[in-house]
Chains A and B, each alone.
Chain A
Amino acid sequence: MKRGEPQESDIVSGAVCWATAALFLLGFTVLAVKLKEVQVTDSAAYGYANARQSVRRVQTCGARGRILDRNGEVLAENRPSLSIVCYPESFQKKTWDETINGIVGSAALVGEAIGRAPDCSEAAIRRHVRESLALPLVAFRDVGERELAVFSEREREFPGFEVRETDERVYPKGALAAHLLGYVGRDRGEAIAGDEKFNFFMPEMRGRAGLEVYYNSFLRGVGGERKILVDARGFAIREWTVVESRKGPDLELAIDARLQAVVERELSGLKGACVVMDPRNGEVLAMASAPGFNPNDFVPVLRPGLYERYAKDPSEPLLNRASGGAYAPGSTFKPITALAGLSSGFSPSETYDCDGVFELGLMRLHCSSRWGHGPVDMRHALMKSCNPYFCSLAMSVGTNAVMSAARAFGLGSKTGLDLGVDMAGVVPDSGWKSSMYHERWYQGDLAQMSIGQGMLLVSPLQMARVAGALGTGMLATPRLKKGLSPELRPIPFSKAQLAVVRSGMRMVVAGDGSSRGTGWRAGEGVAAEVCGKTGTAEIGRGATRRKNTWFIAYAPAASPTIAVAMVVENGESGGGTTAPKVGAVLKAVFGESGRTGPDADGG
């Protein structure tokens, strides 16, 4: 080889080399500029798109708060429940159908091992894979100890299945205060498409009835946030908690569980309802409806067929009669009629000669005493529950006075109870009657109304308020939750007017010294002075004729702390059927006195 100066090629000019180099530089400059746009200028948008497609945001739910009675007794709480869940990502196959079949098959195997059918149908699995792939699928809800033992022993045979702890609602006192507490259901977990904050909402307990509904947003925990990283097919890769969920606050009730149990015992086997409240602040101490149900039957899931059984039961165990039952108040309405009379200038000492029947045109209203009470003044009319007295009183003061007295006691309107079930009832007037029956208002309607019959409809809760208001002069809004500020409304009657009615109601229980009142059994053995009023409302005629028996009471007479209203369907009489039950309730509150009542020997 010999060295020599290279000759310039005559074929390829050097300029071409520079041109090529320039071409390369130009090309790379274009790429660099476009890459800057993608990776720097628009980077945030692509980063967002990346996060949106590969991270699923899950709202977790906080533990639901407990429900306690006024003394801290637990009425509703959460118990740990173990479920066997399945992680779909462990069953990844080429096609979705293979994946789904894999889950179905494995769930069946687990089911065979623990001896129960999976809680998820194939359709449910298919839906889960389509909508909530990143989340675990609950295959066996709330497994028992024995099933769990079998599963744990053989867990390695079932890859992709795991035990997970969740909360389930439990009502430790069973059927106690069931109508009040209600029960919860669980929402289906929701999958949200689109640009929302969350992709999934974990199934949360949600009140379905009673206080669980009314205070649902109070009781529910504060949701947390979890994020799940998913691959291109949507299977979970890993997950982490962003915000911890927080437990919901406990709901403290004014209810006294011990008293509630007494009330329910008194009503057991019957149809009826009872409300015990503190008239000074409206706190409801007990509120029962019979027959009842066990809310534990409704959680975690309502067993199939059970709801229909409850719903079709002619005794309507799901109905909360205490605040939702519509009854004619019967004679318990008479104190209101009396006050209507007094406020219209009717003299309490004016006597009426009762001959056992009140006649108005063709209508004959019988008195409780077949041959009549003879001459009675207002106090004795109350004590003896004399129908003709109040009919004639109503005739003389007119419809409007009775009507406005009834409304002043909150009848015909909702009580404001913190519960969804709060029946307004009916205080009929001419307008109401013409719109309902296309008939005009007769004097007979007024006569019926004056003794709590006819079209008048009230709930036991409303009557408990009435009893309290009669005792204190203030109409209290009933409260189930403890610590709510009391709402009291004065009733528009003077002290003197109220005093007349109160002494009449006292005589109902204590008698007048010479004879017993109709409600004497309510005061028997109660270590407090009880005032009350019996009521026996007749419904229907002939074969379907039956009586709803009432008793309303407040005690102690001087400064009432307790107001009670109780109704028993198909009873004998207010004084015979209901008064002793109210007496038992009052004994539970005030204790038993050694003696059998000051005037027990009288009459």
Chain B
Amino acid sequence: MLEKVKRFNWIMFAAMLALVAVGTVAIWSAGNARDQRFHGMWISNLQAAAFGLVLYLSLAFTDYRRFLELLAWPLYAGALAMLVAVLFVGDTVYGGCRWLWFFQPSEVSKLCVIALVASLLGGGDEWFCRLRPTFRGFLVSALLVGAPCALILAEPDLGTTLTLAPAILVMMFAGGVWRRGLALMVAAGALTVMAVLCAVYEAEKPGVPAERREAILRYTPLKEHQVKRVRVFLFPDDDPQGSGYNLRQAKIAIGSGGFTGKGIGKGMTNHLKYLPPAVSLNDFIFCVYAEETGYVGSLVLLALFLALLLPCCWIAFKSRDGRGRLLALGMSSLVFAHVYVNIAMSIGLLPITGLPLPFVSSGRTFLVTVMCGLGLVQSVSLHRGLEE
């Protein structure tokens, strides 16, 4: 036990607690701007964090290798089942069918997929070891990852898929899956994104007749609301009162925060509801935070995330075990993707998409999921060099 405690990564742990604290304040402020029901949001979020902390510590002191051996496949199967179930019996919120009773299966499934991929590629399954560098191995792992992704896309929840994809890619690359295939896939993906962006640009640039616009957009896989988001991304100043409203208000909130911010609880854009209250607690929580704490606060937040993520890389490096390394890299990549996409979309670096900012956004399922995942990473740290 003492051995384990010695290997406990305190930096990562402290960074996580600090992020929970930051999140609590941000949720308190964003909740206060909304009606009575949301004023206590920060408390329930803190309760979820406490629950997550228990799971975190339990998982940290459990040997991740045993965890993966026992639970990787059952969790994966369970996640698939829930994702199927949510399509039929889930509750629809804001146009996406994401809720199953009290939680969002897509959030939980992120962890399950990462666990499975870590177990599979890290050498947990004997039968896969020989397949790994071959095309068939690539195919198998792509199918295993693709199934839940397809189900999440069907909800539809593009954002979750988009953040899961880079994490899986990092893991597959690190795990030595048929690299030529991976490279092709990445290249194809990049080309598709470029092509779609160019198509939307061509279709939406000023002076394009409606028929031509229709003709171009028919060849893109985007739905109308997605086209709108991409258009806002490409032409952010075109329609500040309409489709560009959210982005404009997000930028006003962040920008007007200035260097030192307006003070906790004093974000005008948030409290006067210019920042759409429907998204200020979740997808746009960074705006609330950045308005109140300014550039200093933004840097502190980025530093805290680095303090959380870099130890993960360190743990992966020190682990020398395939599964441990993949788990740590996968989890940290997942968190990184969320942080990057969430902040980047708020300042117009990426098109707007609905994604929570880990620890800061309200969202209990995701919070608990991320804490569990980081608990597993902590477990990798604790069990470094120990035989099973």
Contacts and interface: CB of A to CB of B under 8 A. Distances in A.
Given A20-B170, A53-B274, A12 B122 contact: yes
Contacts of A21: 309-310, 313-314
Nearest to B384: A6
A42 interface: yes
B336 A24 contact: yes
Interface string A33-66: 0111011101101110110011000000000000
A329 to B, nearest CB: 68
A6 B320 contact: yes
Contacts of A437: none
B254 A39 contact: yes
Contacts of B299: 32, 35
A134 to B, nearest CB: 12
Contact of A12 (B256, B257, B322, B333): B322
A230 interface: yes
A11 B387 contact: no
Interface stretch (B214-222, B265-273, B362-370): B265-273
A16 interface: yes
B341 to A, nearest CB: 10
Interface in B110-135: 121-123, 132
B331 to A, nearest CB: 11
A232 B298 contact: no
Contacts of A38: 251, 254-255, 347
A395 interface: no
B333 A39 contact: no
B321 to A, nearest CB: 6
Majority secondary structure, A binding face: helix
Contact of B310 (A7, A24, A31): A24
Nearest to B316: A17
Nearest to B250: A38
Nearest to B324: A9
Contacts of B176: 11-12
B332 interface: yes
A199 to B, nearest CB: 16
A54 B274 CA distance: 8
Nearest to B337: A27
Interface residues of B, number: 59
A47 B255 contact: yes
B123 A11 contact: yes
B187 interface: no
B306 A25 contact: yes
B387 A16 contact: no
B295 interface: yes
A6 B329 contact: no
A34 B384 CA distance: 38
Residues of A in contact with B, size category: 35 or more
Contacts of B290: 35, 39
A31 B122 CA distance: 32
Contact of B254 (A2, A7, A46, A230): A46
Nearest to B129: A11
Interface string A214-228: 000000000000000
Interface in B298-349: 298-299, 302, 305-306, 309-310, 313-314, 316-322, 325-326, 328-329, 332-333, 336, 340, 343-344, 347, 349
A119 B344 CA distance: 53
B184 interface: no
B333 A20 contact: yes
B181 interface: no
A402 to B, nearest CB: 73
A24 B309 contact: yes
B2 interface: no
Q: Which 6 A-B pairs have the closest CB atoms?
A: A46-B255, A11-B322, A21-B313, A17-B317, A50-B256, A39-B295
Interface of B: 121-123, 132, 170, 173-176, 251-259, 268-269, 272-274, 290, 294-295, 298-299, 302, 305-306, 309-310, 313-314, 316-322, 325-326, 328-329, 332-333, 336, 340, 343-344, 347, 349, 384-388
Given A43-B256, A43-B259, 18 more contacts: A6-B318, A6-B319, A11-B325, A12-B174, A16-B325, A20-B174, A20-B329, A21-B309, A21-B310, A23-B336, A24-B313, A32-B298, A35-B299, A39-B259, A39-B290, A43-B257, A53-B252, A54-B274
16 contacts: A3-B385, A3-B387, A7-B320, A12-B329, A17-B314, A28-B302, A32-B302, A34-B347, A34-B349, A40-B258, A43-B257, A46-B251, A47-B256, A54-B269, A230-B272, A237-B272
